[in-house]
Amino acid sequence: MGSKVKIGLELAELIKTENLGGKERLPNTETHMKQWCAHFALDEKALREILTNLRDAHYIFIINIVLPDPNLYLPSIDSYAYADPSLLNDLKRYSENRLEKTYESTFYKKKSPFQITRELFPKIKEFNNSAMGKCLNESVMLDEFIRVLTNVPFEFADQWRAAKLREIYSEEEEETPHIEEELAAKARAMDQPSGKEYIENPKSAWSKITTNFSIEFLLRIHFRKYEFDVVKKLILKGKIQSETDLKFIRDTLQLMESRTNQDPILKRHMNEMIELRRLAQTKLNILRTSPKSY
């Protein structure tokens, strides 16, 4: 676990250094992914997992600046900002200045960042994978992230973040089977007369916290903080497995998907929500087709 945490912290510092004075200021997967992979001798999948963990531990913010388009073989592109209030404000000024210049060179007229955002953000999909679209996404999301950081500053303190990162890697050391492996294991269990169910370790952190709070309450907190990866891990590890809880996850995600136009941050998590909703539905289907024990 120690080496993983060390790599994560070093990557966070590399992002911070770029934010402070790099050529791009906001490094992204298109400009820096290969460089980081070579630096740490890791493949892209492993590096993306580290970036996701840094986001979940509140060391960085991830901004989706290009939406994927399978028809055009267009991959998703993310940019990265270190979670520090003064740095984020500086990056916001930088991104707004770049947005103004990009708008002027595109439309040959000047407007303020606020006017540009009000005019173009409702039709952001039209500018996907363009300089205008990238600048617009960064400017809007940096503003949102500054609000998030201001609302819960204690979650961005070094002590909180360090503890959270250690917790994430501690959980990842537990065996987490893939969905296919889990389904196969379920099928094998159904062939057995007793059909043993997953038994929660009474000493685990999840078991302790669920003795004081309902799973629905905890899920609401995770959804409010856009922690869809955390909920996915809880399902895959068997910590969430009841039909009631899985239905709640599925139905809540359906509702959230219908409200993405009202929440710019939520819109950036659309793929994660769809994937999680499908996972919950898969688990429900398994429960409904499993033979009942008497």
pLDDT of residue 62: 93
Say if residue 76 is in the same domain as residue 9. yes
Which structural domain range is residue 86 located in? 2-95+145-158
Residue with tokens 């960064």: 138
Both 150 and 188 in one domain: the answer is no
Query: Quick one: 38 and 152 in the same domain?
Result: yes
In this predicted structure, what is the pLDDT of residue 49?
92
Query: CB of 76 within 8 A of CB of 268?
Result: no
Number of domains in the chain: 2
Give the pLDDT of residue 198.
36
Distance set, CA 152 to CA 37, 85, 127, 269 (Å)? 32, 12, 32, 20
Q: How far is 219 from 229, CA to CA, in rounded Å?
A: 12
Residues in the chain, pLDDT under 70? 1-2, 171-206, 208, 212, 290-294
Residue 125 maps to a domain = no
- Considering only CA atoms, give the Rg of the chain: 21
Please identify which residue in the block is written with the tokens 């905890």: 218
Residue 225 and residue 260 share a domain: yes
If you write DSSP's letter for every residue of the chain in order, what string do you get? Answer: -HHHHHHHHHHHHHHHHHHHH-SSSS-BHHHHHHHHHHHHT--HHHHHHHHHHHHHTTSEEEEEEE--BGGGTBPPEEEEEE--HHHHHHHHHHHHHHHHHHHHHHHSS---HHHHHHHHGGGGGGGTTSHHHHHHHHHHHHHHHHHHHHHSGGGGSHHHHHHHHHHHHHHHTS----HHHHHHHHHHHHTSSS-PPP---TTSHHHHHTTTS-HHHHHHHHHHTT-HHHHHHHHHTTSS--HHHHHHHHHHHHHHHTTGGG-HHHHTTHHHHHHHHHHHHHHHHHHHHSPPP-
Residue 261 confidence (pLDDT): 77
What's the confidence (pLDDT) of residue 287? 81
Q: Which two tokens stand for residue 113?
A: 């960042």
What is the reported pLDDT for 212? 67
Whether 63 and 10 map to the same domain: the answer is yes
Look up the CATH number of the domain holding residue 154: 1.10.10
pLDDT at 218 (0 to 100): 84
